[in-house]
Amino acid sequence: MTDEGPLEVCVELLVAGWTTHPGFVARRGAGRRPVRFPALVAAVRHPDGVVLYDTGYAPRVQRAVRRGIDRVYGALLPVHVEPEQAVVRQLAERGIAPEDVTAVVLSHLHADHLGGLRDLPRARVVVDPSAIAAMRSARGLGRLVRGWLPALLPSDLEARLIDPASLPLAAGSGADLAPLAPGRDLTGDGAVVVVPLPGHSDEHLGLLVRARGREVLLLGDAVWDLRAVTDGELPHPVVRLITRDWRGYRATIDDLAALARRRSDLLLLPSHDEAAVERARGLLEP
């Protein structure tokens, strides 16, 4: 993309709670010291409304992981979120009401990405409908292995879904994002583009935003530490156990590395890299 895009578009980065992992989970050789994984939410202000990339944790996630088999999830991934950290509360502090959120792009269906979705009852939701159907029907150990908490899904979600494959191809995104797959234009002006980033999960999506003359590609869990892209520092092999498609995950990282070498102007931002989030805030927010 060569023009600057709508000047009215801007991105604000919110952190709606956090969990912890040993350092080596994000980057091999980082040791066992616990590292905080922020639950990133990107709020994109667009002339047609507010688009969210993910919704972070909310207090309902803490309640969900206290019941039945989901207690295992809570023990492995402790949920830290205060009521004031919920995305709906943080948006209100910025003058954004729930009904102002016109769309939510879910990177994927883990609790740290969809925990606040039920607080946004009017938003259309961009996610693969087949993944929602699979999550609704999953039971027992199979559900636990996938990291799914169906109680977090709104009851009317299916009526509000947007299949990313139904969106029009974004003009020029094939060349702009190569070797990634072409993106899908969510806003009709090329300012907010949904980008497939498969591997961590089947339905995983990134989001390209063109804001104030800068382009940022939000990566979700396509990588956990930006150094996986910039320096080839991959997670410990144990991560294969919680990765849906390891070959696809590696291929996406290789493609992101190639993209980063070709486009030094593009800001790449993983959801759980705390240092990268802080650097991005300095670049994106006035």
Average pLDDT over residues 114-134: 97
- Spatial distance between the Cα atoms of 213 and 21, rounded to a whole number of angstroms: 35
pLDDT of res. 172: 83
% of the chain residues with pLDDT over 70: 94
Residue with tokens 């952190």: 15
Average pLDDT over residues 112-141: 96
Measured between alpha carbons, how far is residue 115 from residues 7, 80, 203, 261 in Å? 31, 12, 17, 34
Q: Which amino acid is at 140?
A: G
pLDDT band at 173 (very low <50, low <70, confident <90, very high): confident
pLDDT band at 3 (very low <50, low <70, confident <90, very high): very low
Q: Map the chain to HEC letters.
A: CCCCCCCCCEEEEEEEEEEEEEHHHHCCCCCCCEEEEEEEEEEEEECCEEEEECCCCCHHHHHHCCCCCHHHHHHHCCCECCHHHCHHHHHHHCCCCHHHEEEEECCCCCHHHHCCHHHCCCCEEECCHHHHHHHHHCCHHHHHHHCCCHHHCCCCHHHHEECHHHCCECCCHHHHHCCCCCCEECCCCCCEEEEECCCCCCCCEEEEEEECCEEEEEEECCCCCCHHHHCCCCCCHHHHHHCCCHHHHHHHHHHHHHHHHHCCCCEEEECCCHHHHHHHHHHHCC
- Spatial distance between the Cα atoms of 107 and 18, rounded to a whole number of angstroms: 16
pLDDT of res. 24: 72
Closest by Cα among 55, 27, 56, 25 to 39? 56
Is 113:106 a contact under the CB 8 Å cutoff? yes
pLDDT single digits (tens) 174-187: 789 999 999 999 99
pLDDT of res. 239: 81
Average pLDDT over residues 120-127: 97
CATH architecture of 10-284: 4-Layer Sandwich (3.60)
Domain locations in the chain? 10-284
**What residues are paired with 47 via a beta bridge?**
none
- State the pTM of this model: 0.93
